[in-house]
């Protein structure tokens, strides 16, 4: 799936079938559904899951918690916009 196809799928009511948990969390984030995205992300115990989790807490405005998750992901909090970070994470996960 390309980023463009993923982005287009946000017009649907449900995420596409067969998405990984990471992409499902990002799909809900792309739909501005923080709670559902967080519910999925908190059960992904990988560096990429921690990155998504960090992004969500950054979005929430909880920088302390976000920084904890960025450290777990081996990253630092970016200076980019949330929209740009969402795109970066999504493109990275899609390329795996």
In this predicted model, what pLDDT tens digit does every residue of 20-29 receive, in sequence order?
999 999 999 9
**Position of tokens 């449900």?**
14
Share of the chain above pLDDT 90, in %: 99
11-50 burial, b if ≥16 CB within 10 A, otherwise e? eeeebeeebeebbbbbbbbbbeeeeebbebbeebeeebbb
Handedness of CA 6, 61, 85, 92 (dihedral sign): negative
Output the average pLDDT for the chain: 97
Please report which confidence band the pLDDT of residue 67 belongs to, taking 50, 70 and 90 as the band edges: very high
Please report which confidence band the pLDDT of residue 56 belongs to, taking 50, 70 and 90 as the band edges: very high
Specify the number of domains making up the chain.
Answer: 1
Mean pLDDT of 75-83: 97
pLDDT of amino acid 94: 97
SS3 content of the chain, % helix, strand, coil (to 5): 70, 0, 30
Q: What angle do CA 78, 79, 85 make, to 5 degrees?
A: 55
Q: How many helices (H) and strands (E) does the chain have?
A: 6, 0
pTM equals 0.97
Domain of residue 83 covers 3-94
């Amino acid at each position: 799936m390309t980023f463009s196809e993923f982005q287009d799928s946000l017009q649907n009511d449900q995420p596409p079938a067969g998405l990984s948990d990471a992409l499902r969390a990002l799909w809900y984030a792309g739909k501005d559904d923080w709670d559902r995205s967080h519910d999925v992300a908190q059960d992904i115990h990988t560096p990429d899951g921690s990155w998504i989790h960090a992004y969500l807490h950054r979005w929430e405005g909880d920088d302390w918690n976000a920084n904890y998750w960025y450290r777990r992901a081996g990253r630092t909090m970016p200076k980019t916009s949330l929209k740009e970070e969402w795109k970066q994470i999504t493109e990275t996960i899609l390329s795996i």
